[in-house]
Amino acid sequence: MATTWQAVRAFGVFHTLSELLERTGMARLLEVPTPFTLLAPMDDAFEAIAHPDFDAWVAGHNHETMIALLARHMLPGRLRAADLIAAGVARTHHGEALAVVGGDRWSVGGARVLQADVRCDNGILHVIDRVLVATAPLPGQPSPEPEPPGPSGPGPARRAP
């Protein structure tokens, strides 16, 4: 078996993820023996990001934002698909809650899981179809409320942090 970092490098579909993990210094976290779960977006997922600041983040202009983005994909503990689906929620290392929806096409944080339960020496890897840029609301929780109406009507909806 390989470490999570070795698995990311060997898959051949995580070039962007690998580069960003190396650039931010987070690649070394994927080598430690402490068990964790990695939600790994494929290269196509990074290409599909429509966030206006993403290119600047990738270029290294906002190192802290890129670290926060990548950390959103790391969960403490060795969490198999069955564990995540049974819990209905996944908590990142920073305590952020990501909704988990089961079924034939199960998802975490709004990202569909394309391949689950890739076992590694120091954890589990789940291949996902998108980058977790913003938190998806948990089932049963209300969406962010719109801003109070101003003189010309309701304001734009607030974005999740």
Summarised one tens digit per residue, pLDDT across range 130-157 is 999 864 443 443 343 333 333 333 333 3
Record the pTM: 0.79
Query: Following CA atoms 44, 47, 50, 56 in sequence, which dihedral angle do they give, to the nearest 10 degrees?
Result: 140
CATH number of the structural domain spanning residue 33: 2.30.180.10
Q: Is residue 71 part of a domain?
A: yes
Domain assignment of residue 37, given as a range: 4-128
Q: Is residue 98 part of a domain?
A: yes
Q: Is residue 70 part of a domain?
A: yes
Q: Is residue 137 part of a domain?
A: no
Query: Following CA atoms 121, 37, 81, 92 in sequence, which dihedral angle do they give, to the nearest 10 degrees?
Result: 160
Q: Is residue 150 part of a domain?
A: no
- Give the chain's domain count: 1
Quick one: average pLDDT of 47-71?
76
- pLDDT category at 33 given cuts 50, 70, 90 is very high
Name which residue leads in pLDDT, 20 or 139.
Answer: 20
Strands (E), the chain: 36-41, 74-76, 89-91, 97-101, 107-108, 111-120, 123-128
